[in-house]
Amino acid sequence: MSPAPERPLWSGCVTGPAREIATTPLQAGQGSLPGGLRGTLYRNGPARLERGGRHVGHWFDGDGAVLAVRFADGAAEATYRYVQTQGYRDEAEQGRLLYGNYGMTAPGPVWNHLRRPLKNAANTSVIALEERLLALWEGGKPHALDLKTLATLGEADLAGPAGRLEGGEVFSAHPKRDPDSGQIYNFGVEIPGRNARLLLYRCEPAGRLLAKRAHALDGVPFIHDWVMAGRYLVFLVPPVRIGVLKVLAGLKSYSEAMAWRPELGTQILVFDRDTLGLVARGETEPFFQWHFGNGAAGDMATGRGDGWLVLDFARYPDFATNEHLREVAHGRTTTAARGTLWRMTLDPATGRVEELAEMSAQSVEFPMVTPGDLGRPWQRTYMAAHGTGTDSTRERYDALACFDHAADRLTVAELGEGRYPSEPIVVEDADDPARRWLISVVCDGKALQSEVWVFPADALDDGPACVLGLPDLVPLGFHGCWRPIA
């Protein structure tokens, strides 16, 4: 009998469970912290994938934990805590998994599904408001945390002039903040029956609801992210449909009930940012995307005048990426799922696509721009990437990358064997607004330790300006944000 294949180095950076970190000063193991780096980096991700000897079904099912790294006066400190959701507390008390989630049905008899809601794992992203941090998930309400201690304050319903989040109204993990007004836009997919509704939200900078509007969708599609482009909100609805009746009956998880339907093509929905009303519908060829980098309107972005929108995103040829991410939770991947950076140019009045082109053949994910460029013409898209020669099927991302659209050039920063970055976050230098820094939490799969790497954003190939050691392993996660010091 042949021995089992050796587990990849990244597996120890995922499977956990992670230990919390009390507030701890950080020391630079390389370089020194830029004096103009002042603010707090927040990051969220699944940190516990098993309990009581039972494993979750998908990477997306793990309990969320939030890392805060605070920078001020050339020094840094870190705190790391689990989000104390009701589901987390219930399972911790009983020492076993109790709830269904994205990739698993409730353990035990099928009627367990009928008497227990899905667990809100609060594990996907965060957004920093004026007085609280929101930990976000795909299918439920946000959880509010204390900005400094990360103590869980409870679910947030965002009550404001336009009401509150009611019943099945969910607030997704991909809000966008307007750089000028500070207002926050987001969406949720509500599934009341055989057809879903797309809920659009506009909120005050403090998070209170200013406007809310619902739109009918065709069937029950899977929508993860969207893009702000000038005065428009744009959704590319991939040809993935959920067999919701089997989910509601507890026979399948959401992930198991998702079907790739390429014959449906990719739907394009364009909404007006002020009214949240539908402007146009369109359709293009089938593909899947988890994440957008940015969108914009006008001359500088497209060279075609104000009548066009341009979007960039990490595109996959199909939905095999979902199976790949399910395998990540078990520490070994065999399903190919290679995403690359693409650009779309479209007419917002009709939803018609003029151009759809691959910008780079490098395997990438988590495209990101400077927050001040959100919804506006931009020059650089930053990403996590597979380095040169890395097997994208069996390995996690092991490099950071920057695509310069003006120069049509990709720069890749290799991190070294066994080092795996999180989504990069771009921040402004507080002393020199023209200077940008790129921050990523990097997991060392050999040492099973995590570090915070700070790069000059316009010169990734120069290497990190500073590397800070964290006192323990922080598992690879999903999304984060930056809150500058006021």
- Residues 158-186 pLDDT 10s: 999 999 999 879 999 999 999 999 999 99
Confidence tier at 192 by pLDDT (50, 70, 90): low
Q: Position of tokens 């970055």?
A: 421
Cα 429 to Cα 423: distance, rounded to the nearest angstrom = 19
Res 398: pLDDT? 98
Degrees to nearest 5, angle at CA 402 with 464 and 431: 55
Residue type, 112: N
Q: DSSP per residue over 118-184, as a string?
A: PP----SEEEE-SS-EEEE-SSS--EEE-TTT--EEEE----BTTB---TT----S--EE-TTT--E
- With bands split at pLDDT 50, 70 and 90, how would you rate the model's confidence at 2? very low
Instruction: Give the pLDDT confidence score for residue 303 in this predicted structure.
Output: 46
Closest to 478 measured CA to CA, from 174, 188, 229: 174
What average pLDDT score do residues 362-373 get?
97
- The whole-chain average pLDDT of the chain stands at 94
Peptide bond into 17 cis (omega under 30): yes
**Token pair for 321:** 């990426």
Write the pLDDT tens digit of every residue in 444-480: 999 999 999 999 999 999 999 999 999 999 999 999 9
What's the whole-number mean pLDDT along residues 390-413? 97
Q: Which domains does the chain have, with CATH numbers?
A: 9-484 (2.130.10.10)
**Residue 1 pLDDT greater than 70, yes or no:** no
pLDDT above 90: residue 15? no
